Amino acid sequence: MTKSIVTGAAGFIGSHLVEALLQRGEQVIAIDEFNDYYDPNFKKKNIVHLQNHPGLTFIAASIQVLDWKTLLEDVDFIYHQAAQAGVRASWGEAFGAYTERNLNATQVLLEAAKNAPRLQRLVFASTSSVYGDAETLPTSESVCPQPVSPYGITKLAAERLCALYYKNFGVPWVALRYFTVYGPRQRPDMAFHKFLQAMLHRQAISIYGDGQQTRDFTYVSDVVAANLAAACVPQAVGEIFNIGGGSTVMLNQVLSLMEEIVGYSVPRNYLPKAVGDARHTAADVSKARQILGYQPQVSLPWGLTQQWYWIKSLYA
């Protein structure tokens, strides 16, 4: 039977991935340290429905303290989702957490992976933040990364580490650069979560910048599908793929769409642009389409509606 490890398993994307793997009949070792970057109770709710699943082993610990040699003895796949996330929080004193969790933890995992006897793939969760203010839109993987945030710097450095371990030790890695993922279980510090929560309570929405910025929004189930494909397609080894939602939308348009879904509008409070926020992002996913067979399935109106239902249930 196939066995997988998912790091960051109680987080937004990680919990959906664990669920999908269990539904496929795999054995899953789920690892999460439940740090306090945001309220750990959110993470506990993400996985409470899975905790008694016979295929699941849950480990609440930091990546850096685990006995990886023993853990990886019979593991086929690693999905490395764990990270210190958030662009705006990565400046100043918080930077140490980003180097520790995005870089040092990844190095520990790679060091163990080079001796894992059964490992077929290590799928690394990267980010569109590595591109920064890309000059070419939509942006392909061949564009030179130019991060504009410390967070983007640490994720790019972790990618480069993975490439080194592939070149020197044959660790079979793949990187997926996610573009603005949304959907149920989204972190409470992320924009759509905050917007919909404010709408639920009929409070004003705070927007950094003029709302004219554009993003390539990607629904979480499409990201899960990309991970599963990256793990099994032979030609994916050693490659980097953009994972986007297939359409680029202006933030103000998203807010209008949310108001249609919710059925009423709330005031918008425009704040100065946040340092480190890219103005525009757009994914060229042709490489992922060609090699992984990736095709985003979820439209923004449908995806936002699912997230709205979840927000209502969460704060009911």
Catalytic positions, written as ranges: 151
* Continuous segment of H or E residues that includes residue 103: none
Q: Which two tokens stand for residue 298?
A: 């979820």
Q: Which residue has the tokens 């640490």?
A: 154
Determine contact, residues 239/203, Cβ cutoff 8 Å: no
Determine contact, residues 29/75, Cβ cutoff 8 Å: yes
Helix axes 220-232, 12-23, angle to 10 degrees: 60
CA distance linking residue 119 with residue 229, whole number of Å? 16
Q: How far apart are the first and last CA of the chain?
A: 40
Please count the residues of the chain.
Answer: 316
Give 229's Cβ-side CA count (13 Å radius).
Answer: 22
Determine contact, residues 108/94, Cβ cutoff 8 Å: no
SS3 content of the chain, % helix, strand, coil (to 5): 45, 20, 40
